[in-house]
Chain A
Amino acid sequence: AQSVTQLDSHVSVSEGTPVLLRCNYSSSYSPSLFWYVQHPNKGLQLLLKYTSAATLVKGINGFEAEFKKSETSFHLTKPSAHMSDAAEYFCVVGSSASKIIFGSGTRLSIRP
């Protein structure tokens, strides 16, 4: 069985400070992991994906995530938050044996 847990439902940071959105997964197989972003009234957009090539994955808009097997984590980070980063972020896990599972989402707010 596989599952994904986003540890924070809401994260608020000041503009220009680092962003950390936490995600833990559980999978019986070597997982594929994704982060998506959803802006208001829009569909989801892929930020980045991990598929076992490299543990540090760089995505769009300056985001990156590190796959840590020992911690079963795939946290999303960005060195410096921008106002346009305010959105909902979803961590997603997939495996060869199951459908894709979405986390419950983390709402990121940016303070001026």
Chain B
Amino acid sequence: GAGVSQSPSNKVTEKGKDVELRCDPISGHTALYWYRQRLGQGLEFLIYFQGNSAPDKSGLPSDRFSAERTGESVSTLTIQRTQQEDSAVYLCASSPRTGVSNQPQHFGDGTRLSIL
């Protein structure tokens, strides 16, 4: 079956531009997570959506970052006025139940974002 799909796989943009990253979770998965992974580092939690509840945005690093999800489907992560420190791999994951932390997450291959 289809896994978590992220697009684009790579994105190069100039400093100051806005970027939009997309995540298609596994069908039926109610929880969706966004992470940032800087080169050679671990995962940094950004935001998660759990069903129709208000998202947990506690990991977003600044107000330049925002994310949306329509129901239990596609999510987009938007970074406005990109800075060089935003360069990283952005990973999306989904899991089959809402906000239950004993459920394993299924990851996409990520979007590699490079800010020139």
Q: Is the CB of A99 within 8 A of B48?
A: yes
Closest residue on chain A to residue B43 by CB atoms: A102
Residues of chain A within 8 A of B102, CB atoms compared:
32, 49, 51, 94, 96
Is the C-beta of A77 less than 8 angstroms from some C-beta in chain B? no
Interface residues on chain B, size class: 20 to 34
Q: How far is the CA of A38 from the CA of B85 in the complex (A)?
A: 23
Q: B31 → chain A, closest Cβ, in Å?
A: 10
Q: Is the CB of B108 within 8 A of A94?
A: no
From A45, A96, A104, B42 is in contact (CB under 8 Å) with: A104
Q: How far is the CA of A103 from the CA of B110 in the complex (A)?
A: 19
Is the C-beta of A74 less than 8 angstroms from some C-beta in chain B? no
Residues of chain B within 8 A of A49, CB atoms compared:
102, 104
Residues of chain A within 8 A of B4, CB atoms compared:
43
Is the C-beta of B41 less than 8 angstroms from some C-beta in chain A? yes
Q: Is the CB of A98 within 8 A of B91?
A: no
- A residues with CB within 8 A of B: 32, 34, 36, 41-46, 49, 51, 90, 94-96, 98-100, 102-105
